[in-house]
Amino acid sequence: MTFDDLGLSPNLLAAIKDAGYTSPTPIQAGAIPVALTGRDVLGIAQTGTGKTASFTLPLIERLSRGRARARMPRSLILCPTRELADQVAQNVRLYAKNHKLTMALLIGGVAFQPQKEILDKGADILIATPGRLLDHFERGGLMLMGIEIMVVDEADRMLDMGFIPDIEKIFSLVPPRRQTLFFSATMPNEIVRIVNTFLKDPERIEVSRPAQTAETIKQYIVRVSDGSPKGKRAALRASINRDNVKNGIVFCNRKRDVDVVARSLQRHGFSAAPIHGDLAQAQRMKTLEDFKSGAVRILVASDVAARGLDIPAVSHVFNFDIPRNADDYVHRIGRTGRAGLTGESVTLVTGEDKKALDAVSRLIGGEPETLVLDGVKAPQGEPAKDDAANADESGEKPARSRSRGGRSRKGGADKPAEARKPANDTASKEKPRGREHRDDIEPAGFGDHVPDFLLRSALG
């Protein structure tokens, strides 16, 4: 299938070509033709599947006829976070470059007056976080009865963040005769209820979850006997110092640890930066840009901050803490192994993490391979290299890693072959890693290559 088959106009096809895409991803192939007919869409898809284009392209197409009226935007895209809203806006700019459509962005941290001026003149596309949108609405600067198309992106994350009452309110303010394009990675009961209440006979399009993409992700755990923050930070450094780590995201469960871990990595000479909700918007955007350009090699993040960020081609995901919720594990590791590239995840596991590890193992169908790193002592009875002396914070030692094939694995036979392989030769060569190691970062995006795992569910 090509983009020409989807019913898009030449202007859009030209913009898509300029973006470097050759064929639609499954969510695009499924959602675009339906959305173009004006029907409601329920898209069940994760970040990384190309879902943003699956709603922005038909939205632009349908808005290309007609004009916005003052203070009455014609379409509304709701996003859970400012970063996600900003990324959607970047997508719209890219795809609508051959159209004369106006766009306003209502998110925290963006100067209000210029956005208000666009709204006053008439915006075709309004991109907003729910709280900000309602603020503006309540102050009277905005009317929602002109909305022809409403998009809800990452609805399940809206639920996690407590936005459902806001979403219900917004649904009650837009005209009933509108088209709704609704996206969620998962379908908890509360989201099913919203869909049943506010969508009209939607076409449901579901594409594979990251768990099914695991053939491109090698998953490891590192058992850490010293479960203190200091012991874990030493284990994290040893994990990052492995040979094939180009760039990565370190996930922490708590916001305050994000800063502590990022500072500790910086002190040890790593190019690292934190990203979490307490940082100023401008700072978060800059950090994200630096990470995308390769100026920052390691991003330290919380789940909420990382959700929805468009960060393709990460070679590694590190779980400084194993997530409390096993689903988050799948979301986190889905940051690597994208676009058909191989990636690795390394999860630090202390003696206290047994329950969480069991939950993750149940979800992914077996425990990840145990990786043994020099200087990281495993709890007694677990595989370890007896070298506790290195496990302090005394700087960056070259790390060597080996795997004990399957020593602690349960039910590993269910796992994809790639994930069952022991840490391979790339992990066993010794080479010190320092702050200079950034020249080899892959460029972001799929380019013109659409990975097989994305195509599979569209065709099958």
Q: Point out which residues bind ligand AMP (CB under 6 A).
A: 21, 24-25, 28, 47-53, 310, 312, 445-446, 450
Q: Which is nearer to ligand AMP, 24 or 210 (CB)?
A: 24
Smaller CB separation from ligand AMP, 171 or 446: 446
Nearest to 128 by CA among 160, 153, 99: 153
Least distance (Å) from ligand AMP to the CB of residue 28? Answer: 6
Q: Which is nearer to ligand AMP, 76 or 450 (CB)?
A: 450
Torsion on CA atoms 16, 19, 24, 26, rounded to nearest 10:
-130
Task: Quote the Cα angle for 275-230-250, to 5°.
Answer: 30
At its nearest, how many Å lie between ligand AMP and the CB of residue 92?
12
The rounded distance, in Å, linking the Cα atoms of 458 and 460 is: 6
Residue 28 or 271 with smaller CB distance to ligand AMP: 28
* Nearest by Cα to 5 from 15, 284, 18, 22: 22
Closest separation in Å from C-beta 314 to ligand AMP: 12
In one-letter notation, the amino acid at residue 428 is S
Which residue type, as a one-letter code, is found at position 106?
L
Closest CB 450 distance from ligand AMP, rounded Å: 5
Sheet with 75-78, side-by-side order of all strands: 103-106, 125-128, 75-78, 149-152, 179-184, 41-44, 203-206
To ligand AMP, the closest distance from the beta carbon of 25 in angstroms equals 5
**Closest distance between ligand AMP and the C-beta of residue 48, in Å?**
5
Longest dimension (CA), the chain: 71
- Measure CA of the first residue to CA of the last residue in the chain; give whole Å: 13
Minimum distance from residue 46 beta carbon to ligand AMP (Å): 7
List Cα–Cα distances, 365 to 52, 332, 419, in angstroms: 30, 17, 11
CB closer to ligand AMP out of 50 and 375: 50
Mind giving me the DSSP string for 123-171?
A: -SEEEE-HHHHHHHHHTTS---TT-SEEEE-SHHHHHHTT-HHHHHHHH
As to burial, measured by CB atoms within 10 angstroms (0-12 exposed, 13-18 middle, 19+ buried), residue 221 is buried
Q: Identify which of residues 88 and 399 has a Cβ nearer to ligand AMP in the complex.
A: 88
Decide whether 28 or 350 has the Cβ nearer to ligand AMP. 28
In this complex, which beta carbon is closest to ligand AMP, that of residue 171 or of residue 183? 183
Q: Which of 213, 160, 188, 187 is nearest to 364 (CA)?
A: 213
In the complex, what is the shortest distance from the CB of residue 68 to ligand AMP, in angstroms, rounded to a whole number? Answer: 25
Q: How far is the CB of 38 from ligand AMP (least distance, A)?
A: 22
Indicate the residue among 17 and 362 with the shorter CB distance to ligand AMP.
Answer: 17
Q: Distance between CA 409 and CA 449 in Å, rounded? A: 34
Element (H, E) at 327: helix 326-333
